[in-house]
A and B are shown apart, each in its own frame.
Chain A
Amino acid sequence: MIELVDVVKKYRIGIHEVVALNGVSLSVRDGEFVVIMGPSGSGKSTLLHLIGCLDKPTSGKVIIDGLDTSKLSDRELTELRRDKIGFVFQQYYLIPTLTALENVELPMVFKGVPKEKRHSRAEELLELVGLKGKEDRKPKELSGGEQQRVAIARALANEPSILLCDEPTGNLDTKSGKVVMDIIKRLNVEEGVTVVLVTHDPSLSDYGDRVVRIRDGRIIHAD
């Protein structure tokens, strides 16, 4: 369960103040697939980063599974991200020196999962995203779609209950975009993973149980 209560996020650039989010309240039930849509600069990424505890709101509350994240220490926030949340970014952000398999293992390394176990889990996950046989490739030896699938596998490594996707298909062609979206949808349906996906691509709205529209840092329409 994700709850945002009157969240405001302001950025300061020199003497100017940019209001990226201006009083956003939102709640996402467990197992729900929510698509957040809005034009560029509307505050979608900012919203997702706040949900994912990568950033802190200027005011308002972000509550994850009943935990008020503003009360957590940096260490606790790190553990929350590690154990409960999976991120998928538009730019994949794979570690270039590590193979696909090792990239997937990384969150488990941080969690202290024993080598054997994390190895076999990473293999399973890569198979799940259709990359069996490409475990030992470095990111640059994979296509964009494949890299994004590695990123999804990595996001799932520690069995998170929440998957946060920021324009996951933004850098992909339609076909590989569809492959990625189908994987995400399947995870939501079959594994019950809560998905919050932000995009400005209207064609992705069909995947969601619910679409939330955002503009100028405010939710304008929620159905």
Chain B
Amino acid sequence: MLIELALRNLARTKVRSTLAIIGIVIGVMAISSIGIFGESLKAVILENFKDVANEVIITPNYIHGYTSIDARTVRKIETIPFAETVIPVKSESALVEYRGKKTYVTVYGIDVRKTKDLFELERGTYKGCLVGSKIADFFKLRVGSRITVAGKDFRVTGIIKEGARFDINPNYAVILPLRDFDRVFNDKEYSMVIVKVRSIDKIDAFKKAVDKIVNRKENKVSVFEMKMIIERIKNVFGKVTLFLMAIAGVSLLVAGISILNIMLMSTIERTKEIGLMRAIGAYRETILKLFLTEALILGLVGSAVGGALSFLGGYSIDILILKTAKYVFAPSSIVYVFLGIAFGILTALISAMYPAWKASKLEPIEALRYE
């Protein structure tokens, strides 16, 4: 009956109630749409790194004077059961020349069977010398071009697809099969080891194993998890999303103030009714509940509509900016819709608190005699 009464009261001032609901709709829609967009943006960016999430990079512990990793250490790492693929990498800065042009680049030596785990090719095969897309652009290289690396000639067998990695920048890299690298740079030791761990939740166990097996006597190597970097990115984007949502939240604030306003008007207009209800046996809390129920209905309706429309909003922004809508309905996006809905309802309730309290504090006889 309280709900019924609340509904009728809202129906009594239809235009006012509708405007209040529209306010909430816009607020919730703004918050949730931006939430969806933020989440989609994060997902699109992280998509690039999804293959590296389970990777760990082992580097020499420079602080303790180690500048390279020896083959023995690599073999030890290979024995750790959580390691799925172990890719030892050698690297050296070297002058690369082609048809009179020259530039210094980082040259990597990686086992030919393993390069495919790290890079995708735009063209050609993994068999021999690979060059990054920016290098290829710079020299105008094609598969089959002959380049000179640190004075020795190599035939380019593949061009690496543009991409992003934290350890090796594929766009500016020149990659040689280990044997060729050793020939050019005289059996250098490894500069890092990239390990793909069986699964993300095994990373901690792997790190412990490295500490036990490799770093038992001395801290020879350091271990970096890609996971950490990805967490950072997630974190930053989470904050950006939150910030954008806070800006969108201003519209909800406005909606809240409009609810506060109409509720205050309502308490004044209905003073006599409140007095009457108190006279015939309504507790103060009953009056409080009545007004809060009215606000709750405004909040629920507005938030539900706003929540539904936010998919439309999120979809539009995603298509416009990210050119893809595949993350609009992702569970992590939907969380933001619920967040928006929760905020919408909360805003309505909080805004109604003061008017409801005021109404409940009216003395019955003064309210009845109010003109």
Contact = CB atoms under 8 A, between A and B. Distances in A.
Nearest to B2: A109
Residue in B9, B12, B278 with the greatest tally of chain A CB atoms within 10 Å: B278
Given A81-B279, A87-B280, 17 more contacts: A49-B365, A75-B283, A78-B282, A82-B280, A95-B5, A95-B273, A95-B276, A96-B12, A97-B5, A97-B11, A97-B12, A102-B1, A106-B1, A109-B2, A110-B277, A110-B282, A158-B281
A123 interface: no
Contacts of A83: 281
A115 B1 CA distance: 9
Contacts of A95: 5, 273, 276-277
Interface of B: 1-2, 4-5, 8-9, 11-12, 272-273, 275-284, 286, 363-365, 368
Contacts of B364: 54-55
A55 B365 contact: yes
Contacts of B9: 97
A81 B275 CA distance: 13
A75 B281 CA distance: 9
Interface of B is mostly: helix
* Contact-residue size bin, chain A (C-beta under 8 Å from the other chain): 20 to 34
Contact of B368 (A54, A81, A111): A54
Interface in A162-193: none
Report, nearest first, the 9 A-B pairs whose CB atoms are least far apart.
Answer: A82-B281, A97-B8, A110-B281, A93-B276, A54-B365, A109-B1, A55-B365, A107-B280, A54-B364
B272 A93 contact: yes
A62 to B, nearest CB: 13
Nearest to B9: A97
Contact of B281 (A49, A78, A93): A78
Interface in A68-88: 74-75, 78-79, 81-83, 87
A10 to B, nearest CB: 14
Residue in B4, B279, B365, B368 with the greatest tally of chain A CB atoms within 10 Å: B279
